[in-house]
Structure 1
Amino acid sequence: MSTYTERLPFTGSPEYDKHFWNAMRGHDSSYDKLTKGLSAGTGLYTMPNTSDNKYMAALEKESLFRTIGTVIKAYGSGYRIFAKDSSDLAQWVAENEAIPIYDGLEDFTISTVNSWKLAALVKMDDAFIRDVSFNLENHLINRFARNFGRAEDNAFINGNGNEMPTGILNATGGAEVAATIEAISYDRVIDLYFSVKPEYRKNAVWLMNDKTALILRTLKDSAGNYLWRDSDDTILGKKVIFSEFMPDAETGSKPIAFGDFSYYWVIGRRPIGVRTLSEKFAALDQLGYLAYEFLDGKLIRPETVKVIQMNTKTNG
Structure 2
Amino acid sequence: MTEAMPERTKAAPAAPVAPEVKAVPETMTAAFDDFMEAFEAFKEVNDRRLGEIEQKLTADVVTRDKMDRINRVVDEQKKLLDQMVLKKARPQLGSGGNGRELSPDMVEHKAAFDAYIRRGDEAGLRELEAKVLSAGSGADGGYLVPDETDTEIGRRISVVSLMRALSTVRTVSSAILKKPFTTAGLATGWVAETAARPQTASPLLAELSFPTMELYAMPAATQGLLDDAAVDIEAWIAGEVDIVFAEQEGDAFIRGDGLNKPKGFLSYTAVADTSWSWGNLGYVATGSAGAWKAAGPSDTLIELIYALKAGHRQNGTFMLNRRTQSDIRKFKDADGNYLWRPPASAGQPASLMGFPIAEAEEMPDVAANALAVAFGDFRAGYLVVDRAGVRVLRDPYSAKPYVLFYTTKRVGGGVQNFEAIKLVKFAAA
Shorter-chain TM-score range: 0.7 to 0.9
2:357 is aligned with 1:240: yes
- Paired letter, 2:298: Y
1:203–1:47 CA distance, 2 compared to 1 (3 A): same
Assess, with a 3 A threshold, how the Cα gap between structure 1 residues 310 and 40 changes in structure 2: closer, same or farther. farther
State how far apart, in whole Å, the 2-side matches of 1:105 and 1:243 are.
Answer: 39
Label 1:306 to 1:130 Cα distance change in 2 as closer, same or farther (>3 A). same
Separation (CA, whole Å) in 1 of partners of 2:251 and 2:200: 37
What does residue range 14-53 of structure 1 map to in structure 2 within 5 Å? Answer: 14-30=107-123, 32-33=126-127, 35=129, 36=133, 37-39=135-137, 42-53=140-151
Structure 1: gaps (5+ residues): 1-9
Q: Quick check: 27-36 or 303-312, which moved more?
A: 27-36
Distance 1:165 1:101, change over 3 A: farther
1:152 aligns with 2:249: yes
Contact 2:225 2:231 in 1 (8 A): yes
Please name the residue that 1:178 is paired with: 284
Change (3 A) 1:16 1:170: same
Task: Give SS of 1:144's match.
Answer: helix
* 1:227 is the counterpart of 2:339: yes
Structure having the larger proportion of residues in helix:
2
3-state DSSP of counterpart to 1:302: coil
- 1:193 equivalent to 2:305? Answer yes
> What are the equivalent positions in structure 2 for 1:29-108 lying under 5 Å apart?
29-30=122-123, 32-33=126-127, 35=129, 36=133, 37-39=135-137, 42-75=140-173, 77=174, 79-85=175-181, 105-106=203-204
Secondary structure at the aligned position of 2:319 is classed as: strand
Which stretch shows the higher mean deviation, 218-227 or 168-177? Answer: 168-177
Q: Is the CA contact (8 Å cut-off) linking 2:285 and 2:427 kept in structure 1?
A: no
Q: Work out the number of aligned pairs and report it.
A: 298
The TM-score normalised by the length of structure 2 is: 0.62
3-state SS of paired residue (1:207): strand
Contact 1:156 1:297 in 2 (8 A): yes
Structure 1 CA distance, aligned partners of 2:360 and 2:315?
Answer: 18
Number of the residue aligned with 1:6: none
Aligned match of 2:412 in 293, 296, 312? 296
1:119 equivalent in alignment to 2:189: no
**TM, length-normalised to structure 1:** 0.83
Offset at residue 109 of structure 1 (A): 6.0
Contact 1:174–1:299 under 8 Å retained in 2: no
**1:212 alignment partner, SS class:** helix
Kindly indicate whether the alpha-carbon contact (under 8 Å) linking 1:165 and 1:298 is maintained by their aligned counterparts in 2. Answer: yes
- The SS at the match of 1:84 is strand
Q: Could you say which structure has the higher strand fraction?
A: 1
Please give the per-residue CA displacement for 1:25-51, whole angstroms capped at 9, x wherever unaligned. Answer: 133344544644444664121111122
- CA-to-aligned-CA distance 1:107-154 (integer Å, 9 cap, x gap): x66301212111111112322221100111112112212111111110
Q: RMSD of the alignment, in Å?
A: 3.2
1:253 to 366, 370, 381: 370
- The change in CA–CA distance for 1:198 and 1:29 in structure 2 (over 3 A counts) is closer
Higher relative contact order (CA 8 A, sep 6+): 1
Contact 1:88 1:102 in 2 (8 A): no
Which residue in the other structure is 2:40 paired with?
none
For residues 339 and 237 of structure 2, what CA distance do their matches in structure 1 show?
Answer: 43
Residue equivalent to 1:161? 258
Verify the 8 A CA contact 1:85 1:300 in the aligned structure 2. no
Contact 1:281 1:288 in 2 (8 A): yes
Task: Check 1:180–1:224 CA distance in 2 against 1; reply closer, same or farther (3 A cut).
Answer: closer
Distance between the aligned counterparts of 1:100 and 1:300, measured in 2? 32
Out of 226, 232, 235, the position equivalent to 1:135 is: 232
Match of 1:265 among 383, 389, 406: 383
> Contact 2:281/2:423 (CA < 8 Å) preserved in 1?
yes
Q: Aligned equivalents of 1:298 and 1:68: distance in 2?
A: 13
AA aligned opposite 1:241: A
Distance 1:103 1:92, change over 3 A: closer
3-state SS of paired residue (1:265): strand
Q: Are residues 1:209 and 2:321 paired?
A: yes
Separation in 2, partners of 1:195, 1:92: 28
> Residue 215 of structure 1: CA displacement?
0.7
Which amino acid counterpart does residue 393 of structure 2 have in structure 1?
Answer: R
Q: Tell me the equivalent position of 1:287.
A: 403
Q: Are 2:398 and 1:276 aligned?
A: no
* 131 and 305 in structure 1: CA distance in 2 versus 1, 3 angstrom threshold: same
